[in-house]
């Protein structure tokens, strides 16, 4: 087997948590919804705004659904958590 002599410019990369980009700061995050109940009206409205922006940016038709999945909640359940946009 031939091993390339090239080395990555950032050797800290891995399949797990990775190095944050230069200039990244937790202070720049929108912490308004951190720790909020995911079914509260204000969080639902925020999710709907995100879905709208994703559809607009990617030119996804309005009658398509957008799903956000987070598999980290329960190891044995592939589709354990989803927010979605219903067809109007």
Q: What is the pLDDT of residues 30-46, one digit of tens each?
A: 778 777 777 788 888 88
Q: Which two tokens stand for residue 22?
A: 């230069």
Q: Which domain holds residue 56?
A: 28-84
pTM: 0.47
In the chain, the N- to C-terminal Cα span, in Å, equals 56
Cα torsion 8, 10, 11, 12: sign:
negative
Residues of the chain with pLDDT under 50: 78, 80-88
Residue 61 lies in a domain: yes
Does residue 36 lie in a domain region?
A: yes
With respect to residue 35, please indicate whether it lies within any of the assigned structural domains: yes
Query: Does residue 43 belong to any structural domain of this protein?
Result: yes
Domain count, the chain: 1
């Amino acid at each position: 087997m031939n091993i390339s002599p090239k080395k990555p410019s950032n050797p800290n990369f891995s399949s797990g948590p990775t190095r944050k980009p230069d200039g990244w700061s937790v202070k720049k995050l929108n912490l308004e919804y951190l720790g909020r109940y995911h079914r509260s009206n204000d969080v639902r409205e925020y999710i709907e705004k995100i879905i709208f922006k994703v559809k607009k940016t990617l030119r996804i038709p309005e009658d398509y659904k957008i799903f956000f999945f987070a598999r980290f909640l329960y190891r044995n359940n592939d589709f354990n958590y989803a927010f979605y946009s219903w067809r109007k």
